[in-house]
Amino acid sequence: MADLKSTFLDVYSILKSDLLQDPSFEFTHESRQWLERMLDYNVRGGKLNRGLSVVDSYKLLKQGQDLTEKETFLSCALGWCIEWLQAYFLVLDDIMDNSVTRRGQPCWFRKPKVGMIAINDGILLRNHIHRILKKHFREMPYYVDLVDLFNEVEFQTACGQMIDLITTFDGEKDLSKYSLQIHRRIVQYKTAYYSFYLPVACALLMAGENLENHTDVKNVLVDMGIYFQVQDDYLDCFADPETLGKIGTDIEDFKCSWLVVKALERCNEEQTKILYENYGKAEPSNVAKVKALYKELDLEGAFMEYEKESYEKLTKLIEAHQSKAIQAVLKSFLAKIYKRQK
């Protein structure tokens, strides 16, 4: 794994160098410096799980055959395209949410001398994906399908973000808008497609597969993405911040979290009143009342039950797949997230 990660990071250096020398633009020393700093801060700084999973998935689809140098490079390059996509979403998302930190450091737009220049940086990050695809994949038979895939997933994610923003609009905190169905729609479009389906779809295209023949794979991965987000919602409230690496703020932020939706389902009239009066308020006393209510409603137990059912359902769907190689890809994704603590 360490070896794969170092290979993956080497490919980042090559892709970054290509972009810093892009012949379509006459860079000045200052603009090249800005771009390099922006890329290192936003693209290279994450956990790289999505990107690395393209390479892992492609290896599993090759069923133990060693990858050629070119296959390794191309699968890494596609992995980085997803990391670029993620960086583009996060840079703009942080501005929309007026966030303070990301990955334990200040959000990019909070950095001195950056501010709203970050909006243009987001646009650049989005454009870089297609520069990378054009330079390294245009001769590939699956090039058009790749471009199509990235455009489709970007559109779905932006629509998910739209539902999230208009549902959780800050000026009118209205819990009656929240339901399991709304939660599922936000998560499916905002997270599941680009985090779970996209890495596997990239690997399938590289392996010569037609994505139209794999809607069942897409459905399993979307379900897995929803399960992943429900875990995230649970951990935000119940995990130890030391283990999680951050302090959860879903209650203060009035998030359409799985926990609040489940709470609304289980509350009696008195409990509903407590939730309406305290959810979305930043005071520690308000947050404590919501957490106490979650305990009273046994949402930990509800989550354990949900996790068990999800795992059994996903395992059943995976084992029903006719391809052992695709089963292996899906099982590797599920193994990474099942009962995770952070």
- The residue to which tokens 């989550």 are assigned: 303
- List the domains of the chain with CATH numbers: 1-139 (1.10.600.10), 169-341 (1.10.600.10)
pLDDT at 107: 94
pLDDT at 103: 84
Q: What is the pLDDT along the chain (342 residues), one digit of tens a residue?
A: 558 899 999 999 999 999 999 999 999 999 999 999 999 999 998 889 999 999 999 999 999 799 999 999 999 999 999 999 999 999 999 999 888 888 888 999 999 999 999 999 999 999 999 999 999 999 999 999 999 999 999 999 999 999 988 887 756 788 999 999 999 999 999 999 999 999 999 999 999 999 999 999 999 999 999 999 999 999 999 987 777 667 788 999 899 999 999 999 999 999 999 999 999 998 999 999 999 999 999 999 999 999 999 999 999 999 999 999 999 999 999 999 998 777
pLDDT at 46: 86
pLDDT at 153: 98
pTM, whole model, 2 decimals?
0.93
Question: Can you spell out the DSSP letters for 59-126?
Answer: HHHTTTPPPPHHHHHHHHHHHHHHHHHHHHHHHHHHHHHT-SEETTEE-GGGSTTTTTHHHHHHHHHH
- The residue to which tokens 């942080």 are assigned: 94
Spell out where the chain has E strands: 101-102, 105-106
pLDDT at 171: 63
pLDDT at 170: 59
Q: Is 128 exposed, middle or buried (0-12, 13-18, 19+ CB in 10 A)?
A: buried
**∠ CA(230), CA(235), CA(238), 5° rounding?**
125
The dihedral over CA atoms of 125, 128, 133, 134, expressed in degrees to the nearest 10, equals: 160
pLDDT at 253: 86
